[in-house]
Structure 1
Amino acid sequence: MSHTTEEIPQNDHDPTGTTTGTATGEPDSGRPDGVAKPAADQPRPARSWEAVRHLLVRLHFYAGVLVAPFLLVAAVTGLAYTFTPQLDQLVYGDRLRVERVGDEPRPLAEQIAAARAAHPEGTTASVITPAGPEDTTRVVLAVPELGENQRTVFVDPYTAEVRGELTTWFGSTPLTTWLDDLHRNLHLGETGRLYSEVAASWLWVAVAGGLVLWIGRSRGQRAKSARGVLLPDRKARGVRRTRSWHAATGVWLALALLFLSATGLTWSGYAGERFGRLLDAANGNAPALDTALPGAKAPAEGHSEHAGHGGSGDKTADADPAGFDAALTAARAAGLGGTVVVTPAADAASAWTVAQNDNVWPVHYDRVAVDVAGGGEITARTYWADHPALSKLSKLGVQGHMGVLFGVVNQIVLALVALGLTAVIVWGYRMWWQRRPTRDDRRALAGRAPERGAWRRLPLPVLVLGIPAVIALGWALPLLGVTLAGFLVVDVVVGAVRRRRTA
């Protein structure tokens, strides 16, 4: 839809594309011939707080135009990943669920024996107990040729019948793993992870800048009420209507988008490494479970023995299936309920571990170390309640980001946020197109960028405080710093070329 010049307000600094002066977004020189004054003839720009808004307009514009494609991909792939629990049940239901619920489950040793009879390869890495009465037991096998993947055998806990097997990645099914890789790195490995970190690094910048611009604009030009900020202006037409829907929807999504940005950065490549340093400095890591058996000597390197069996060093002996029952019994007696992961001892000097794995609120993440050979004595324990606040926030944030913390409600919220973000991005590009010049003598495919040079008019306190803050952010969020520096370099080069042509 085209626009006439009457539809576009004059002197309207808008994050959607144009700025002061004419409908094309070019500064009005004030001369009859429309030619800008030479730089030497122009007065030095005065510093004002309005320049802060102009700088935000330009920053929000570039974040929207250049980073929005990354955000759009993250939103679409994240939407697909949100429904992986339902997709897993649809694709792998015959392995994940039991056909008929029995009275009492069989001992783990019997279930493991059935799994090992069907799949004798590798060693038993862990056993995951059923999360519900209709779920299967998962016997996880470490198979060297699978690398970091595992072979998970699904066993009916009531009949010890093997229902099937899958190649899993840290407990995730092939479908979930594929969608997870698509969301994290577009199946491009470590290089592909840059896209998701760029999206997460800029998402909060776009959200925060958009909030400031919209709230300030609404207070100045519309009714000073919550309605003017939270609801779109249905009476508006053209670009104003699109902007109204873009901004009002962004306000509703703001908190969720800031949450997704923060939680996504915690396990990203570069910013995640910085976050790890923060956890180390603040003693915010989860407490480690001490699995060393009291009085036991660690086996000498190259002469390890496992469960009383001599080893050649080339192959690790499999754990005794009866040990899983002993470890589980001790953990249940110690109060660990729900689904748990039972992991055999790494060597003769170490204890078995049993860890709760309830990810749905209220979560349960207690862990115990069990001396199976010593009669099932609990040698160490860590409580979820004793985790540092930063560790708890990080763990819960990740679960909420993945859509499992609050079950189906969490999934629905994330799906709505992904759809809303997609709509906001589409409206943003539509605004850019609507603000394009449409006169016969001056046409373009999209609107022009907001005016440059606003930083030269910033108040000195903003510069003094802002420059160190930007440098600190660039260190904490390296990809934000690198891409922002790249935008600045390109902007300076383009500005220099245009000034030279004008001259």
Structure 2
Amino acid sequence: MSETTRTRPPVEPGPPSDPSPGDRPRSAGATWWAGLRPLLMRLHFYAGLFVGPFLLVAAVTGLLYTLTPQIDRALYADVLTAPVTGPAVPVRDQVAAAMASQPGLPVTEVRPAPGPGDTTRVSFDADLEPSYSRTVFVDPSTGGVRATIDTYAEWLPFRATIDNLHRSLLLGDPGRIYTELAASWLWVLTLSGLAIWVVRREKRRRNENGHSHKARRVRRTLLPQDTGPGRARLRSWHGSVGLWAAVGMLFLSATGLTWSQFAGANVDTMRSAFDWTTPSVSDTLPATSTAAPVGSVAVQTDRVLAAARGAGVAGPVEVTPADPGGAWTVTQTTRSWPTQQDSVAVDPSTGAVVDQLRFADWPVAAKLARWGIDAHMGILFGVANQIVLAALALAIICLVVWGYRMWWLRRPTRGGFAGPPGVRSKPAFSAVLTVGAVAVLVGLALPVFGVSLIAFLLIDAVVQSVRSDEPAEA
């Protein structure tokens, strides 16, 4: 029996197949990111782990602070308002009534009732803590005193307490370090988290090799997933919420640093160097002016206020008496949009306006600082501003809690410390050099950030040393 040998026809060479995502040559940017990623992962991990409690406290107290305007109005309704029983008595009589209730104390500020039904505030220097005043609330209709309360700047006790709790944990200047630490690292956590999240999603897109619909990829990036293992689901929520809240968190970090203890001083120095400071009217009187008679504060208040109104300073104002031989100042106090912060200086003996400053003439940087602080405090855009701040506070609370939960789920089952995920590899030298140079510059501008960064680097060095000594798992 013969055997028939079959010969296969030659195979025509086809077009070269596309390389798999893992075989494709890396671009320079991808290579640099591969070297930078371990460093960012460590930075994000340690900052979140150790700064998280401070961020959590700042977010919780900040959330409480967003509610204080409404709570204040409810708690102190009898102090802030008075029934309208007739035409208002002259401001000088209201000030005189307040002065009679606080004999011997100098007047530091007068805030005439901003509208019908509101009370007039007269503040005194009672030798209290810095920024605190003894404030007398007067009924404009009767000229009678309704209440006397120690206030922090313009804030009543409840709001002052929450403000100090948020700013310093009621510990004074030493406590301010906690908020500066939180603000110094919030922007780092935000930017590093964004980079990790976006690159992770981009890597997943490349691995899918175009098989995933574009709308689905966008949805995965912007919206959290509700399916999958617990840690993956938490990571999805952590990344998506962080993405949505990123701009707000960067804003809170920047504005919080502007009036922090150490970084804020550097910001003030920079603003002074570039002439970006908030301007003010001069309270120096002309040489030909005569000083106001002693004991005439109540009478002079009417004269100064009338002069300011005649100069176009309308709406709610604060009248600030000067030292003998100086001009009084009258400044608008509307910090909600549109901001009204015009001010004039008035000779109390003649009622002549000796200097004036319009908010429109402020430097742009000074306006931005004013708006930034007022937005941070929930004042600039009223209730809408408060709602946005409350949402940001809730987002930060969730991000911190989810971050700790993910860390807990990664903890070793046989004890030990759960370090940064997936970053046993050492960062590239070029990445370390670049980030190190940036960190030095930022650390000089933000001292609390610089000191804490050194602490994180030391901790990371110890952890990496311990992990390198661990035996590799089979």
Task: Name the TM-score, length of structure 1 as normaliser.
Answer: 0.81
User: Deviation at 1:104?
Assistant: 3.7
Which of 414, 417, 426 is residue 443 of structure 1 equivalent to? Answer: 414
Per-residue Cα deviation, 1:238-257 (whole angstroms, up to 9, x for no partner): 11111111111111111111
Check 1:169–1:48 CA distance in 2 against 1; reply closer, same or farther (3 A cut): closer
Contact persistence 2:419–2:463 (CA under 8 A): no
Q: Aligned residue for 2:457?
A: 488
User: Deviation at 1:176?
Assistant: 1.4
User: Deviation at 1:288?
Assistant: 2.6
Q: Aligned residue for 1:420?
A: 395
User: Deviation at 1:465?
Assistant: 3.7
Q: Aligned residue for 2:109?
A: 126
Check 1:208–1:49 CA distance in 2 against 1; reply closer, same or farther (3 A cut): closer
Check 1:319–1:470 CA distance in 2 against 1; reply closer, same or farther (3 A cut): farther
Check 1:416–1:280 CA distance in 2 against 1; reply closer, same or farther (3 A cut): same
User: Deviation at 1:136?
Assistant: 0.8
What residue ranges of structure 2 are gaps of 5+ in the alignment?
Answer: 1-30, 206-211
1:323 aligns with 2:307: no
Check 1:264–1:290 CA distance in 2 against 1; reply closer, same or farther (3 A cut): same
Amino acid of the structure 2 residue aligned with 1:251: L
RMSD over equivalenced CA pairs, Å: 2.3
Contact persistence 1:434–1:446 (CA under 8 A): no
User: Deviation at 1:476?
Assistant: 0.9
Structure 2: distance between partners of 1:277 and 1:468: 22
Contact persistence 1:58–1:451 (CA under 8 A): no
What residue ranges of structure 1 are gaps of 5+ in the alignment?
Answer: 1-46, 299-305, 310-317
Structure 2: distance between partners of 1:219 and 1:499: 30
Structure 2: distance between partners of 1:66 and 1:285: 35
Contact persistence 1:351–1:371 (CA under 8 A): yes
Structure 1: distance between partners of 2:423 and 2:293: 74
Structure 2: distance between partners of 1:78 and 1:258: 15
Give the number of aligned pairs. Answer: 434
Per-residue Cα deviation, 1:396-455 (whole angstroms, up to 9, x for no partner): 111111111111111111111111211111111111122234xxxx43487433366755
Amino acid of the structure 2 residue aligned with 1:435: R
Aligned-partner SS, 1:144: coil
1:364 aligns with 2:340: yes
Aligned-partner SS, 1:436: coil
Which of 153, 158, 175 is residue 175 of structure 1 equivalent to? Answer: 158
Structure 2: distance between partners of 1:173 and 1:236: 50
Contact persistence 1:271–1:477 (CA under 8 A): yes
User: Deviation at 1:73?
Assistant: 0.3
Aligned-partner SS, 2:338: coil
1:190 aligns with 2:173: yes
Q: Aligned residue for 1:81?
A: 65
Identity %: 44
Per-residue Cα deviation, 1:369-411 (whole angstroms, up to 9, x for no partner): 111212x111101111111111111111111111111111111
Q: Aligned residue for 2:316?
A: 339
Q: Aligned residue for 1:352?
A: 328
Q: Aligned residue for 2:250?
A: 258
User: Deviation at 1:501?
Assistant: 7.3
Structure 2: distance between partners of 1:467 and 1:152: 51
User: Deviation at 1:296?
Assistant: 4.9
**Higher mean C-alpha displacement, 256-265 vs 152-161:** 152-161
Structure 1: distance between partners of 2:425 and 2:280: 51
Structure 1: distance between partners of 2:470 and 2:190: 36
Structure 2: distance between partners of 1:413 and 1:265: 20
Structure 2: distance between partners of 1:381 and 1:453: 63
Amino acid of the structure 1 residue aligned with 2:419: R
Per-residue Cα deviation, 1:213-267 (whole angstroms, up to 9, x for no partner): 1111122225554322210112333111111111111111111111111000000
Amino acid of the structure 1 residue aligned with 2:460: D
Task: Name the TM-score, length of structure 2 as normaliser.
Answer: 0.86
Q: Aligned residue for 1:407?
A: 382
